[in-house]
Homo-oligomer: A and B are copies of this chain.
């Protein structure tokens, strides 16, 4: 958390449009994957730098250019120059602490969203994905070089999918849909964690569990912060605010919107459930205290009077007639048994035993 803000404070006072990478370096160098298609044809290329193929691409085709490794500033700047992208937007692309947002620049649409990864079901990780959707191209920017979008690449290359018959707006939809689908994996992970914690709470409520609840709650705060603004973005698309998105793509966008709402609903429900778990935890702790106290009270309450009695006859007074009686000892044993019995009946009544 403070790491992140430290990186931001590096930028304090810089003039606007300064393209400075903010975030972790997660890939060695930049990689550009370019996939152009129209009707039955498609061509795929991969470069390390912006080159002539990109600059002189066939404007009749739809081109998807995916850049990973956004910390390599000069690649980003070259792409920006090629596609006439505003320097403020380039600045946002390389600053990975953006809040998800959409900006309509007439020429192109700029969308920032957060991808959520759950590597090995250990931890939720966030990665910023920037999309530039133009009339006949889509640029996608991320830091990591992972395989999230391979499925979409395969669908484009395969003959069956209808993606090749559609425009750049449909490709942008496919990317958004893929990101939102991955949110369900994060939800699954959170849901399982809730179940595990619920069991732990009932069986063994110790501070460790509380800390896990706290961590889970904070994780949800972060997921929520990443997901919530997306609703507004996709809603703006679904309303047809942008001319780049054609009428027949909007129905797909609305489908993504429905998924978003469901994701948000589920997160809110999970938050309510986690809050409820905290109550149960606290109550279990105090119930256990109660039980401990009961045992102490029962033992102490039975034996303290008895100990007094035996102490009484341990006194060394010269004139204590009971001590001389032949049946004194058995009598005192009997009296103590009666006292214990009364105590136990009293506790039974109080429902402590």
Chain A residues at the B interface, C-beta cutoff of 8 Å: 1-2, 4-6, 8-9, 11-13, 15-16, 86, 88, 92, 97-99, 101, 103, 151-152, 155, 161-163, 174, 177-178, 181-182, 184-185, 187-188, 191-192, 194-195, 202, 204, 206-207, 210-211, 214, 217-218, 221-222, 225, 251-252, 254-255, 258, 261-262, 265-266, 269, 272-273, 276-297, 299-301, 303-308, 310-320, 322-329, 332, 350-352
Contacts and interface: CB of A to CB of B under 8 A. Distances in A.
Nearest to A257: B101
A296 B258 CA distance: 57
Contacts of A328: 317-319
A261 B276 CA distance: 26
For A13, A282, A310, A323, which residue has the most chain B Cβ atoms within 10 angstroms? A13
Contact of A310 (B290, B312, B352): B312
Contact of A287 (B4, B15, B206, B255): B206
Contact of A316 (B16, B218, B295, B320): B320
A94 to B, nearest CB: 14
A225 B318 contact: no
Copies of this chain assembled into the complex:
5
B315 A305 contact: no
Contact of A282 (B151, B225, B286): B286
A27 B252 CA distance: 31
B5 A191 contact: yes
Contact of A13 (B13, B181, B308): B181
Contact of A281 (B8, B97, B98, B283): B283
Given A6-B188, A290-B285, A295-B297, A317 B308 contact: no
Contact of A292 (B86, B255, B290, B326): B290
Contacts of A261: 99
A284 B208 CA distance: 10
A300 B298 CA distance: 11
Nearest to A286: B285
Given A2-B191, A221-B269, A310-B311, A276 B214 contact: yes
Nearest to A13: B151
Contact of A294 (B262, B266, B292, B322): B292
A204 B350 CA distance: 11
Contact of A314 (B269, B290, B296, B311): B311
Nearest to A290: B289
Contact of A194 (B1, B174, B307, B308): B1
Contacts of A101: 258
For A88, A217, A279, which residue has the most chain B Cβ atoms within 10 angstroms? A279
Contact of A99 (B195, B265, B352): B265
B324 A329 contact: no
A327 to B, nearest CB: 8
A187 B303 CA distance: 52
Contact of A187 (B5, B217, B251, B314): B5
B195 A351 contact: no
A292 B283 contact: no
